[in-house]
């Protein structure tokens, strides 16, 4: 009697390899995001488009789902690192930005579902360049404080929130890379506190964009490729935990230029996708 184990089928091996690749990709993105205190969605989107072959809006939706879970998982730890009283003292800034970002998220998601594919890719590429510039400026401390009076600050906050909501919806990101410099610039808070406050803005903003995307046919990607989406989410969360534990291991003087270059390279790849 033959007692040798049954050989796995070629299809089973391919599925296994694919699952490993998707998990590894998500984990790598999570590590990069964890190292700099962000969700990493700006690195995940080019991966979804260029490596895993998802079409524009479908890639944004998967990216948005992963961003939602990563931010929700990171929120308790991030908020516990800053005194509650300090966070509560800046609720006006959070509400000010939310007044614009919630509307911007709805509008941005609506635009994404209506744009021609080539136009969408070019918009995504331009936004990746913008994020690379702001990320570098914020990390190297070149952002000033505006010191605006209350009235102009409210108007600027709603306007900035709207723009951030649009960008976050279009890219499927949490928006921390835009919210943190905005909080530093408009409300004169330090970077650590801005990181915690940004979560309070980004989570509701992402939920609004996600709800708007749920009304589009492309949202079916989450049911059609359930295994893929779940694996990407698990990999991203795992990687973000690992990346967070490695903070300080890689000097910012090396990490920031490297990640900025990666964002710019991703922008070129996405542009060429068009």
Residues 269 and 212: their CA atoms lie apart, in Å, by 27
CB 108 within 8 A of CB 168: yes
pLDDT of residue 142: 59
pLDDT of residue 139: 67
pLDDT of residue 242: 87
CB 223 within 8 A of CB 119: no
Report which DSSP code applies to 52: S
CB 47 within 8 A of CB 239: no
pLDDT of residue 151: 85
Q: How many residues does the chain have?
A: 274
Which one, of 97, 77, 101, lies nearest residue 196 by Cα?
Answer: 77
pLDDT of residue 274: 64
The sign one gets for the Cα dihedral 159, 156, 38, 76 is negative
Tokens describing residue 154: 């409210």
Query: Residue 37, Cα to own-chain centre: how many angstroms?
Result: 11
Tokens describing residue 78: 């991030």
Per-domain boundaries in the chain: 19-273
pLDDT of residue 167: 92
Q: What is the pTM of this model?
A: 0.83
Residues 77 and 249: their CA atoms lie apart, in Å, by 19
pLDDT of residue 2: 44
Those residues with Cβ within 8 angstroms of residue 18's Cβ, 6 or more apart along the chain or in another chain: 228
CB 72 within 8 A of CB 203: yes
- Per-residue pLDDT tens digits of the chain, which is 274 residues long: 444 444 444 454 345 548 899 999 999 988 888 777 677 888 899 899 888 988 889 999 999 999 999 888 877 777 666 777 788 888 999 999 999 999 999 999 999 999 888 899 999 999 989 888 887 776 666 556 667 778 888 999 999 999 999 999 999 888 887 888 888 888 888 877 888 888 889 999 999 999 999 999 889 999 999 999 999 999 999 998 888 777 667 776 777 788 888 889 888 888 887 6
Report which DSSP code applies to 218: G
Residues 167 and 101: their CA atoms lie apart, in Å, by 10
Tokens describing residue 64: 């948005």
């Amino acid at each position: 009697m033959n007692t040798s184990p049954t050989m796995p089928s070629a299809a089973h091996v391919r599925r296994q390899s694919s699952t490993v690749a998707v998990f590894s990709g998500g984990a790598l993105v999570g590590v990069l995001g964890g190292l700099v205190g962000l969700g990493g969605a700006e690195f995940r989107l080019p991966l979804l488009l260029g490596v895993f072959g998802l079409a524009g809006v479908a890639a944004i939706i998967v990216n948005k789902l992963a961003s939602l879970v990563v931010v929700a998982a990171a929120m308790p730890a991030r908020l516990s690192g800053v005194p509650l009283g300090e966070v509560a003292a800046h609720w006006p800034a959070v509400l000010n930005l939310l007044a614009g970002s919630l509307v911007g998220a709805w509008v941005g998601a609506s635009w994404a579902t209506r744009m021609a594919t080539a136009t969408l890719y070019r918009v995504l590429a331009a936004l990746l360049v913008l994020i690379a510039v702001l990320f570098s400026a914020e990390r190297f401390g070149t952002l000033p404080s505006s010191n605006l009076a209350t009235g102009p600050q409210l108007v600027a906050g709603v306007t900035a929130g709207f723009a951030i909501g649009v960008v976050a919806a279009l890219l499927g990101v949490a928006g921390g890379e835009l919210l943190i410099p905005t909080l530093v610039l408009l409300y004169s808070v330090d970077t650590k506190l801005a990181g915690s406050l940004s979560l309070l803005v980004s989570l509701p903003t992402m939920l609004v964009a996600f709800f708007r995307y749920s009304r589009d046919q492309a949202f079916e990607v989450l049911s059609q490729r359930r295994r893929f989406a779940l694996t990407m989410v698990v990999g991203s969360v795992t990687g973000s935990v690992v990346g967070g534990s490695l903070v300080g291991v890689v000097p910012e003087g090396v990490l920031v230029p490297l990640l900025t270059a990666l964002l710019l390279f991703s922008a070129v790849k996405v542009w060429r996708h068009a």
